[in-house]
Structure 1
């Protein structure tokens, strides 16, 4: 029997955020691809987003490769693009099987199938490594797909979902199809000649953040790879594919301190020339103050912590189990160890005002992260906070739910006023940051100058950063140029 072909397509969604710093691998497809290969399928990973391909390019790829199955992956902001890929696939070949997965389809399967069942055949709810091969095996053997856990489909008259799939407990057993990755397109722009990977050491989030999707997607459960397996996987892609920069994609890689410290020790012991970037919890940074030197020694150069708000009342509404004092201390500790500190502030709640935005900016300066992003609250329709936000939602166009474009209209502001407030917050923060360049270490100074140049050229906030630079005194411009020569200096 001829082997069936599966094409895994990352949709061509762009918002000006992710692509500002580089091109990023879809890690989920790497593991799903390997599980499909082991099940006997021919698999292709097609990252239309990172290739900056349009629908004409995608159509040509589908027509040329003739897949039997097209599977794509959707967050809320990219769901429209994923639906279009399914529609396009069906136009090219009505017999092709189309599959959607990831966070938005997991929760919004009924809405999707009610509106788009003519082009969407199946939805994988939750993790896909076991579910997708089982689904395809059942379908192609003409079995009863309603017995497959973790899917949703149109049963002829209505949207139907099967029992939930249990989470994978043994993450060490999951292997990645790293050889299917086109490494030539993945790079981290602040690091010249970089080859960028996305990796993870754990899955899950056991926090309660009311605005977030991750704790819902993972049902507040957390599982981890063994330190040895994780570090060996990182070493493999470093040695085999020359990866020299990697983002640890875990929501909370540091949750288990003993395990995390073992990872750090192994990274130090093996001394790989890889720069690592990560996200973690404020509380874990404060907890680890005595071993933060190991973070830096292990190659971690950039840490994001979610501060989210400078208002105690908003933090309570967000169900963030963290205090303002802890957030400030975490950033201070990261800075102390010469690691790039990054955070974000979520603005645009119904009671937001220009005065409250200005107060957030002033406190953001006080926290003193190296990088800060002022984001518009995104009302995920499945998030716990949605009921509070729904009366203020200005549009149901999911493509705008990207944390950049204001979607919630505060009671006392227009959408345009909120947009202006977010832009102004960016200008004020980075003007202050530019003024502190002389006081930074050479590592941070060079890094930030490179990042600022990239933000000007590639980011949605480029015009804001450019306006700051243009309004600087000539003396400061010369100072920046002096330190930016090896980064193609800012003109």
Structure 2
């Protein structure tokens, strides 16, 4: 396996005989998400797998029957997964996994083989695209095929090939085990016309997808563009997309937003794009269409610090178009660390971007990556003080995850304390700094979050009324649903919360109860305030 992002391509060895045709034709395909949970993003709500919406659409267009099964969002265990598979009786089981979920994904595919050894198992996504050699060498008994890159064209081509009794080595974008070794076919080209891709929104089990910060509003994940042209050394996206970027037309994207609201009751949509604002004229057209058509959907998004600074003159249109929450990756406050991460941005711009977002009364969120080899308890404290200075509404302090295919990995490898990928979730430290233990890193990460949010709640009355409402919901999420529950519960218990803060939270809670009563809803506290 290479770590520079370039897939290794093998020429298939000559076979000694013809490919044996399958006795059972492939008709039914189960797309199953991995039942992996870490309490990070999922704490804010239930998020669908938009990639499977596209894959399901492509498979149906090719004539296959599809079950979109979100075992992760449903919190299903092995017994429930087994029952669903037995009921559907798929010929193929496909899953998709980021690095932290890869162990659970392999277990899922092995379960499928136990249910029916004739089931064809397929896996894709970033980790599989770059680590297929390791995966197939260790788990080729559970994994039949790896889809490297986009799957909308590759997967139907594979299944058609198998049904025809032809050689999968002819299909671009695959890796598989054959004759005691790994075969990797040529890389598949990227899909150019994203507007033309079919989708399968009707297969989504909509009632389970909720956004907790807005009273369990129905939540969709949408994609307006694919790709990333940045050069961040710790990230996977630039490698997966090969530093390219493609986009749907503004009209096509906004029409989908309208449809999701009208047909499925979607109220909030999160953009899965890495940089939706990359092409400013296209992004302005999206904003204008959202303002004109008023589709009834609020937008959550991530973008670059540089693009927010660039767009300062149109931030009022962001807000009018329904952009309600923007995440920008600050990652570090020192320019030397930003340069190491190859962020391509200046530390001063990070604070400016957050000021611009706040000035537009849009929720601002950022994160700081900690646990690098040179970190100490003092650098954690410095990060918290920097976060307070930048003043986002939310800041999260994450453990560096050493993706084995990232550019930064060779510099971290000597400090990697475990190869258990299930811990590579940005919460559990896996890189050991020179002057700290992993336990100390974990403790300092929790302390950093608690201290930052203590500061935010001490200054909650400085926010607009709707942001106060939002932050109270965030407090409920942190204390009851997230990986930070322990630290937040300690804060809420009053051991570290000043009486003035507790009084303010009681007041906001009382206001919320009054509004609930006026609306005829059952009142409830959003957090246990002593």
Please confirm whether the aligned pair reaches a TM-score higher than 0.5, indicating the same fold. Answer: yes
Q: Which residue of 1 aligns with 2:281?
A: 258
Pairing 1:114-153 to 2, within 5 Å after superposition:
114-153=137-176
Determine if the alignment matches structure 1 residue 201 to structure 2 residue 208. Answer: no
Determine if the alignment matches structure 1 residue 292 to structure 2 residue 315. Answer: yes
Q: Which residue of 1 aligns with 2:257?
A: 234
Query: C-alpha separation between the residues in 2 aligned to 1:474 and 1:266?
Result: 47
Q: Which residue of 1 aligns with 2:526?
A: 489
SS in 2 for 1:163: coil
| Match among 316, 330, 335 for residue 307 of structure 1 | 330
Pairing 1:205-220 to 2, within 5 Å after superposition:
205-220=228-243
Whether the 8 Å contact between 1:481 and 1:489 is mirrored in structure 2 is no
Whether the 8 Å contact between 1:12 and 1:53 is mirrored in structure 2 is yes
SS in 2 for 1:313: helix
SS in 2 for 1:412: coil
Superposed displacement of residue 235, structure 1 = 0.7
Q: Which residue of 2 aligns with 1:61?
A: 84
SS in 1 for 2:68: strand
Pairing 1:42-81 to 2, within 5 Å after superposition:
42-81=65-104
Superposed displacement of residue 482, structure 1 = 2.1
Q: Which residue of 2 aligns with 1:480?
A: 505
Query: C-alpha separation between the residues in 2 aligned to 1:368 and 1:454?
Result: 20
Q: Which residue of 2 aligns with 1:355?
A: 378
Superposed displacement of residue 223, structure 1 = 0.3
Query: C-alpha separation between the residues in 1 aligned to 2:25 and 2:400?
Result: 48
Determine if the alignment matches structure 1 residue 434 to structure 2 residue 471. Answer: no
Number of positions where the alignment pairs a residue of Structure 1 with one of Structure 2:
491
| Match among 238, 242, 246 for residue 223 of structure 1 | 246
Whether the 8 Å contact between 2:26 and 2:163 is mirrored in structure 1 is no
Pairing 1:342-381 to 2, within 5 Å after superposition:
342-381=365-404
- Which segment drifts farther, 55-64 or 286-295? 55-64
SS in 1 for 2:73: helix
Query: C-alpha separation between the residues in 2 aligned to 1:248 and 1:225?
Result: 13
Determine if the alignment matches structure 1 residue 462 to structure 2 residue 485. Answer: yes
Greater C-alpha Rg: 2
Pairing 1:396-415 to 2, within 5 Å after superposition:
396-415=419-438
Superposed displacement of residue 417, structure 1 = 1.0
Determine if the alignment matches structure 1 residue 322 to structure 2 residue 359. Answer: no
Q: Which residue of 2 aligns with 1:339?
A: 362
Query: C-alpha separation between the residues in 1 aligned to 2:487 and 2:204?
Result: 35
Query: C-alpha separation between the residues in 2 aligned to 1:354 and 1:475?
Result: 29
Whether the 8 Å contact between 1:198 and 1:246 is mirrored in structure 2 is yes
Q: Which residue of 1 aligns with 2:31?
A: 8
SS in 2 for 1:50: coil
Determine if the alignment matches structure 1 residue 169 to structure 2 residue 192. Answer: yes
Determine if the alignment matches structure 1 residue 111 to structure 2 residue 134. Answer: yes
Please list every run of 5 or more consecutive structure 2 residues that lacks an aligned counterpart in the other structure.
1-23, 514-523
Q: Which residue of 2 aligns with 1:102?
A: 125
Query: C-alpha separation between the residues in 2 aligned to 1:324 and 1:364?
Result: 12
Whether the 8 Å contact between 1:3 and 1:42 is mirrored in structure 2 is no
> Aligned pair in 2 of structure 1 residues 488, 209: CA closer, same or farther (>3 Å)?
same
Determine if the alignment matches structure 1 residue 424 to structure 2 residue 413. Answer: no
Query: C-alpha separation between the residues in 2 aligned to 1:371 and 1:188?
Result: 16
Whether the 8 Å contact between 1:5 and 1:69 is mirrored in structure 2 is yes
Superposed displacement of residue 25, structure 1 = 0.4
Determine if the alignment matches structure 1 residue 158 to structure 2 residue 174. Answer: no
| Match among 71, 82, 89 for residue 112 of structure 2 | 89
SS in 2 for 1:488: coil
Superposed displacement of residue 193, structure 1 = 4.5
SS in 1 for 2:312: coil
> Segments of 4+ in structure 1 off by > 4 A?
none
Whether the 8 Å contact between 1:481 and 1:490 is mirrored in structure 2 is no
Whether the 8 Å contact between 2:369 and 2:399 is mirrored in structure 1 is yes
Query: C-alpha separation between the residues in 2 aligned to 1:421 and 1:280?
Result: 28
SS in 2 for 1:71: strand
Pairwise CA RMSD of aligned residues?
1.1
Query: C-alpha separation between the residues in 2 aligned to 1:182 and 1:466?
Result: 33
Superposed displacement of residue 421, structure 1 = 1.1
Please list every run of 5 or more consecutive structure 1 residues that lacks an aligned counterpart in the other structure.
none
SS in 2 for 1:290: helix
